[in-house]
Amino acid sequence: MKKALVLTLASLFFTSCLNFKVNLAYEMVGAYDDSIKLSKLVNDEKEVVFIPMHHLGTKLFYDDVKTKIDSLKKAGFHFYTEEVKVDRKDTITIRKAIKLTGIPFSRDNSGYKHFFDSLYKHKVKLKKELVNQPKYIELGLDSINSKNVDVTFKEVVGYYEKKYGEIKLQPCDFEKSFYEKPDCKSKPINRKIREEVYLDFRNTNIVNTIVKDKYQKIAVIYGSDHFKGIEEELLKRGFKVK
């Protein structure tokens, strides 16, 4: 009887602790925000608005994103969108990308909610209901008013291997599908190196595109983690915060 009680209390404590940690993490990254704050940088030729997107958020948040996109469209802005693309037939690049990022692919474009559900479904009660980032077409963007300026997974892997050496795959990397994290026991790639490759490399690509592009009014719709690096690089190139 005492053992059962102890196990029950331990389970309740674990669940409560997990609830707190997960909800705190989502609060810190802004997943529970119901509105978005835009930032603007300018130089003598260009005006750049940054839309710091959450890939998992509230419906009200995405409603506000769409409202602001509509306003920017009317003001004549062209939009840069984020999507690291990959040829799903290139299985080696896919396996290397998973090993590099530590994140499996989402099944059938099911988005970040797929990862949350696989880890915490029925274990955590969220403070607010969260949904996946809507597709760009649902936010009012198309091939005329926007373009994907991101790199490909092949370019990400190529950048890493050129600088740090080949990503060597092991038998364990092939034991599961692309949609599950491998059970490899090898040491993960250093976090700072991952961030350099997956954030800084992509940020540099965005900044170079901004500088070279013909558009004078540009709205960048990227994950909020990218903004600091993009802003710092644009400031070095003569842009100012407005």
Domain region containing 80: 2-241
**Tally of domains in the chain:** 1
pTM over 0.95: no
As a whole number of angstroms, the distance between CA 203 and CA 230 comes to: 6
Dihedral pair phi/psi, residue 53, rounded to 5°: -80, 145
CA 233 from chain center: how many Å? 19
Collect all residues with Cβ–Cβ distance below 8 Å to 239 and sequence separation of at least 6.
Answer: 41, 42, 43, 46, 48
For 181, the 3-state DSSP assignment is coil
Task: Please report the pLDDT score of residue 121 as a whole number.
Answer: 61
109: DSSP letter: G
Q: Considering only CA atoms, which of 215, 207, 227 is closest in space to residue 40?
A: 227
C-alpha R_g of the chain: 21
Q: Considering only CA atoms, which of 57, 113, 83, 87 is closest in space to residue 178?
A: 87
Structure tokens given for 96: 């290397």
Residues 83, 95: contact at Cβ < 8 Å?
no
Give the chain's end-to-end CA distance (angstroms, integer): 66
As a whole number of angstroms, the distance between CA 216 and CA 108 comes to: 36
Task: Please report the pLDDT score of residue 59 as a whole number.
Answer: 95
Q: For the chain, 242 residues long, give each residue's pLDDT as a single digit of tens.
A: 433 433 332 343 345 676 777 767 777 778 888 999 999 999 999 999 999 998 889 999 999 999 999 999 999 999 999 999 888 889 999 999 999 988 887 665 556 666 566 556 667 777 888 888 999 999 999 999 999 999 999 999 999 999 999 999 999 989 988 878 888 887 888 889 988 998 999 999 999 999 999 999 999 999 888 999 999 999 999 999 98
Q: 10 Å Cβ neighbour count for 11? A: 10
Each residue's pLDDT tens digit, 157-185: 999 999 999 999 999 989 988 878 888 88
